[in-house]
Homo-oligomer: A and B are copies of this chain.
Amino acid sequence: MGLTIGVDIGGTKIAAGVVDEEGAILNTFTVPTPATAEAIVDAIASAVDGAREGHQIEAVGIGAAGYVDDKRATVLFAPNIDWRHEPLKDKVEQRVGLPVVVENDANAAAWGEYRFGAGKGHDDVICITLGTGLGGGIIIGNKLRRGRFGVAAEFGHIRVVPDGLLCGCGSQGCWEQYASGRALVRYARQRAAATPENAVLLLSLGDGTTEGIQGKHVSEAARQGDPVAVDSFRELARWAGAGLADLASLFDPSAFIVGGGVSDEGELVLDPIRKSFRRWLIGGAWRPHAQVLAAQLGGKAGLVGAADLARQG
């Protein structure tokens, strides 16, 4: 099979990209994300049409946040779009006249990294995506494992603190409340409020208030050694690494791949995560250790992964 299109549905824009068998993106086309569920279907079709011009396309893969069913056809529930049992595959197929595969966006990104990024050469890989929230994907035996009903790998919602922080999912203590971009900002704001004298640089990067601290400020300040920023990354890593240790007990992969915006900081975050992972890994003296690798495809992993999943059919 030749070229396929991957679609990434973001909060502000929808990107469609033509992807070849090597994972290279040959062409992209982007449209703004509309406000209503129905208009998003139109926008997806527009993006696909814009991208496919001049290319022979064989299938389309769509990465969407939320629960996607076992047939990879229906979005059962989406957190940010009003999709409830939305037959997305059928609707888009009718518009674009091509076979469509729908996949959870974190699953698609995991597949992209496995096929063309940090996971190449591994058969058993667990990916986590530290973005605003925390998502992930499971590759076992060179296959994406979606669960019986399509909703596996919801790593962000395992409970790491009983009676812990409220989560948008309605539960409490979910991992993504402790290991994600949002958590990083919370750590920084709490620490800056308690000890502003240790956050002089961090506060100066924003508007001077604790509420004005954004993720980019924490990263920048941490690179420059701001104590509160460094400690915030360490706290994030404490939770991320402990969670990876749990996933090692469960899945025992040969590698973990850490992606998402937070991982863009590279070793600033990867190094403490590795240390925390080793700290909490059970039986570490008696077993081979999984590698903890930085993702390589950045924000394109989902698009490339979705395209490749469509190619596989």
Q: Which residues of A contact B (CB under 8 A)?
A: 67, 76-77, 84, 122-124, 138, 140-141, 143, 145-155, 157-166, 169-172, 174, 178, 190-191, 193-195, 242, 245-247, 249-254, 275, 278-288, 290
Contacts and interface: CB of A to CB of B under 8 A. Distances in A.
Assembly stoichiometry (copies): 4
B170 A250 contact: no
A157 B76 CA distance: 32
Given A155-B250, A163-B162, A246-B159, A194 B148 contact: no
A274 to B, nearest CB: 10
A247 B77 CA distance: 20
B282 A171 contact: yes
Residue from A160, A190, A282 with most neighbouring chain B CB atoms (10 Å): A282
B194 A77 contact: no
A164 B160 CA distance: 11
Contact of A195 (B250, B253, B279): B279
A172 B163 contact: no
B283 A242 contact: no
Given A124-B148, A155-B249, A194 B281 contact: yes
- List the 5 closest A-B pairs by CB distance, nearest first: A147-B252, A77-B286, A152-B252, A148-B254, A154-B249
A190 B169 CA distance: 11
A148 B191 contact: no
Residue from A84, A194, A285 with most neighbouring chain B CB atoms (10 Å): A194
A179 to B, nearest CB: 12
Contacts of A288: 148-149
A155 B147 CA distance: 18
A154 B154 CA distance: 19
A76 B149 contact: no
A164 B174 CA distance: 11
Contacts of A147: 124, 251-253
